[in-house]
Amino acid sequence: MIRTIVVPLDGSEFAERALGPATVLASRLDTGLRFVTTRWGDDAVAPARYLEEVASRVEVPADVVVVHDREAAEAIRVVVGEAPDSVVCMTTHGRSGLGQALLGSVAEEVLRSLDHPVLLVGPSVDASWPSAWERMLVCTDGSDASQAVLPVAAEWSRALGLEPWLVQVISPEAVREAELSGANGGAAESGLLRHLAQELGEEASWEVLHGDDPARAVVQYTRSRPFSLVATSTHGRSGLARVTLGSVAMKVVHDCPAPVLIVRPSDLS
């Protein structure tokens, strides 16, 4: 399981919003934090002082790393490479517009290049998170690629003591198409979801959601009950882009009240 939680910081208040979730996870997993930043221009002293000051504020063991002469994403890769049993916990604005780098260049590059899961803290995660520590929401669309999240989510839910809930969103159009073809699409999807939920453990629950907007359905479901974490893959039936997260998962990251664990399929090049 996780031995180190790597938290990239750049001196901004927004980046420090990852400290809360990272500290909660470190406490529950009985592990440590590693704060990382890069050299700020020609100043090699201020970054280290800043990280040490941040480390003095948290209530779990933390060390600091300043990576010189590397861009931010590369610095994160270097630190993660030195700690194989680690996870990156970082903030992102999670903008939903498709014209630019959806997660910002650093988070996008980290997701593209790391095989490790990444925990994203979007702008809608409340400062008081978590309001309760009970459940973990796991999202799938039924495709093989989206199922890459299942073994990771199972490991995290067991380690954190969270009850896993598996959901899939089905659009009214998909239901109508199945009915026109003479198939019982709802029953088929329910059967698949019930089968996939077994991979999360005997205690796992599952539910089929309905809506034209999958991201909105997931976020509304997350707000309807106390989910502490949401987990999803970066790729699936909806044609999610290799470098971004695609429009559906991106909106979840942007609007979700809980941090989102992103799992990148190992065969996604």
* Confidence at 121, pLDDT banded by 50, 70, 90: very high
Rg, Å, the chain Cα set: 19
Same domain, 244 and 155: yes
Q: 119 in a domain, yes or no?
A: no
Q: Which residue among 91, 119, 152 closes a domain?
A: 91
Q: Is the pLDDT reported for residue 4 higher than 60?
A: yes
81 and 141 part of one domain: no
Instruction: Indicate whether 182 belongs to any domain.
Output: yes
Q: Same domain, yes or no, for 155 and 46?
A: no
pLDDT surpasses 90 at 116:
no
- Mind listing the pLDDT tens digit for each residue in 231-248? 998 764 444 333 334 567
63 belongs to a structural domain: yes
Q: Are residues 202 and 147 in the same domain?
A: yes
Q: Is 252 found in the same domain as 141?
A: yes
More confident residue, 75 or 267: 75
Residue 117 lies in a domain: no
Q: Which of 35, 70, 91 is the last residue of a domain?
A: 91
Pair (160, 78) in one structural domain: no
CATH of the domain at 66: 3.40.50.620
Asked whether residue 222 is domain-assigned, the answer is: yes
Mean pLDDT calculated for residue range 119-143: 90
pLDDT, position 269: 47
In a domain, 82, yes or no: yes
Pair 159, 79 in one domain: no
Q: Is the full-model pTM beyond 0.85?
A: yes
Domain that holds residue 243: 135-259
Both 163 and 240 in a single domain?
Answer: yes
For residues 72 and 185, state if they share a domain.
Answer: no
From 91, 126, 161, the end of a domain falls on: 91
Q: Residue 99: pLDDT above 50?
A: no
161 and 58 together in one domain: no
Express each pLDDT in 162-215 by its tens digit: 999 999 988 766 555 555 555 555 555 677 788 899 999 988 999 999 888 888
Q: Summarize the confidence of residues 148-161 as an average pLDDT.
A: 94
Question: Does residue 134 surpass a pLDDT of 90?
Answer: yes
On whether residue 17 sits in a domain, the answer given is yes
Please check whether residues 173 and 67 belong to one and the same domain. no
Share of the chain above pLDDT 90, in %: 46
pLDDT at 186: 55
3 pLDDT exceeds 70?
A: yes
Across residues 19-46, what is the average pLDDT? 90
pLDDT digits (tens, 9 = 90+) for 39-63: 777 777 888 999 999 999 999 999 9
Domain presence at residue 218: yes
Q: Of 87-91, 104-108, 206-210, 262-266, give the lowest mean pLDDT range.
A: 104-108
Question: How many domains does the chain fold into?
Answer: 2
Domain shared by 141 and 254, yes or no: yes
180 or 158, greater pLDDT: 158
